[in-house]
Amino acid sequence: MNRLHPISAVGRVLNRTLSIGAVGFFAGMMLSGPLDLLPIGAVFVLAPVGAVLGAAYGVARYYRFTYELSAGDLSVNSGVFDRQERSIPLSRIQNVDIERGPIQRVLGLAVVKFETAGGSATEAELNAISYEEARELQSSVASYRRGDTDTETGTTDTEDETGTAATDRRTERSRPTERRLYELSTVDLLTLALVSFRPAAPALVLFGVPFAQEYAVRLLSESVAALGGPARVSVELLPTYSTGELLLTGIVAAAQFVLAAWILSAAFTITEYYGFRLDYVGDDLRYRRGLIQEYSGSIPLEKIQTVTVRENVLMRRFGYAALAVETAGYAPGSGSQDASNTAIPLDDRETVLALAEALTDAEIPEMEGLPARSRRRYAVRYSLVPLVITAILAGVDALVVSIPYWYTPLALLPLTVLAGHLTWKHRGFALLDHLFAARSGVLVQTTRLVPYYRVQTVIDSRTVFQRRLSLASVTADTASTASLLGGDATAYDVDDETAHRLHQTLRDKLMSDLRARSKGFREHALDEFATDASEDPETAGPPAGETDAASSEGDATTPEASQAGDDDANRGSGSPTEQ
């Protein structure tokens, strides 16, 4: 059994010594002061006693925490008072993540986190071990999984070949080649920083303002004065301003807030994604990123539930997109999920689609849009908001207290109708040979690719309004945790017949693809993709402009937009048209 690295233990013990010592100190102060139970000297006894107890506990914890990787199992024993012995079968491990903060990088340490599909918290965390050992653990888990598959296919091979040929093949497989799939260029990193929105940033600016109050107010005053407003801005002077001055101050303040939040958000993104790279190693995807805190991890290909392409408004305008792969490992809402499952943070759409297609061995077509009559639903649904608000205000105005301009929300109507139309336009789905694709979202357009053999349950739902229009929404539920946040693969508002066909296809294809998979069908085309990448060492990933290299392999071509009449949308290996 192995222990954690002694250096990390020192930090922890120190931490405990100080905290329990502090507890002792405060207890002594309370007991001798206000409560007057003990003489003042008690503090000088309780504090050191607390410190010693803390140190002892810290040391005991260090010695009690052991882990071992052997015989297909990761065992972690921990705890001083309540002992915990955890055993995780290696085949159940979804993601292995390695994090290194700046101090850890200096000391050559790393924190390793193992995720399985069960439970919400990280299943096993080794904080901290040496970096080399962390990498070894990662490879051991991966090679164990490979070793498993090797034994299976190895036995069938010996039927066909001589013993030496089979053994040679096996040893070859046990040394996995590392191939670069993608690297984030500096330009793309900066672009990503500009187009990403980090919710933490505005929150931080808001909370930070009180601390930098003087500076912020001075900045605001100077800019407002420069634009021809009042010479000095302060809370006391606000009532003395004219409406024009108030408006100016408000706009300038808002603009400065947005700018500060944007800069902070960009800074977060840069520190998180600096040096992002994605490699194909054996049967895993390995990523590494981070400027100050370094993150790296492995994503087993066989655990990938869905592949998601995300394009927010800004990205779409400039032809960019982002790619994520979803496993069953993370708890919903945990920050680590979004970043740790990123395959491509940002690149031009062609590259992103090429990797998405390589990961799923499919050709992503144009989506089948929703029937026209469902558009009405969206316009109505979104318009309800201003209508209801106006109705409420009208009611209040008539019955309770008079409200001037109670009909103003109606001005939002054209906007809501537009929002409804856009939402409708951005929704669609497609049924491919081995994949179900669903797209939705206006501000962040998300395309989810679900291989049929990953479908868990199939759910049709019809609300009252959908029933009246003979519409239904069909969802392919998967084990990926993103589904809990409303991120499931759903074909919205399709007509009843299509819904029925879709539901049946998902069910049937799930079974047939599962059977095919057990006999070994190709799940991904990463080998070709990686070869293309290595052919062009200058640019990372298949170069955007030179799709010739990719199309000559016959993989990454996207067929033209489907004909409207082509209802039975079993697209996929349709004739490749011009790229």
Bridge partners, 308 (sequence order) = 324, 448
507 binds another protein (CB under 8 A): yes
| Span from 404-412, 431-439, 479-487, 560-568 in contact with another protein (CB under 8 A) | 479-487
Q: What span, in angstroms and rounded, lies between the C-alpha atoms of 195 and 237?
A: 37
- State in angstroms the smallest separation of the CB of 438 from another protein: 13
Per-residue binding letters, 310-349, with another protein (x by CB under 8 A): ------------------x---x-----------------
458 binds another protein (CB under 8 A): yes
306 binds another protein (CB under 8 A): no
464 binds another protein (CB under 8 A): yes
- Please identify, using beta-carbon distances, which residue of 459 and 549 lies nearer to another protein: 459
CA distances to 165, 220, 221, 234 from 231, rounded to whole Å, are 86, 10, 7, 10
Q: What span, in angstroms and rounded, lies between the C-alpha atoms of 532 and 462?
A: 45
Q: Which class for 546: exposed (0-12), middle (13-18), buried (19 or more C-beta within 10 A)?
A: middle
Report the first-to-last Cα separation within the chain, whole angstroms. Answer: 56
460 binds another protein (CB under 8 A): yes
462 binds another protein (CB under 8 A): yes
143 binds another protein (CB under 8 A): no
Please give the distance of CA 438 from its chain centroid, rounded to a whole number: 18
Is residue 532 a contact partner of residue 550, using CB atoms and an 8 Å limit? yes
Token pair recorded at residue 396: 């209040």
- Please identify, using beta-carbon distances, which residue of 448 and 571 lies nearer to another protein: 448
**Token pair 């895993």: residue:** 284
Token pair recorded at residue 295: 């993150």
Per-residue binding letters, 93-132, with another protein (x by CB under 8 A): ------------------------x---------------
| Span from 187-195, 367-375, 407-415, 510-518 in contact with another protein (CB under 8 A) | 510-518
- Please identify, using beta-carbon distances, which residue of 116 and 558 lies nearer to another protein: 116
59 binds another protein (CB under 8 A): no
Q: Which of 104, 440, 481, 547 binds another protein (CB under 8 A)?
A: 481
| Span from 83-91, 207-215, 280-288, 506-514 in contact with another protein (CB under 8 A) | 506-514
C-beta contacts of 558-561 below 8 A and 24+ residues apart = 558/353, 558/363, 558/364, 558/365, 559/363, 559/365, 559/366, 560/366, 561/366
In eight-state DSSP terms, residue 482 is G
- Please identify, using beta-carbon distances, which residue of 152 and 535 lies nearer to another protein: 152
Residues that bind another protein (CB under 8 A): 117, 328, 332, 455-464, 467, 475, 477-481, 483-484, 488, 503, 506-507, 510-511, 514-515, 518
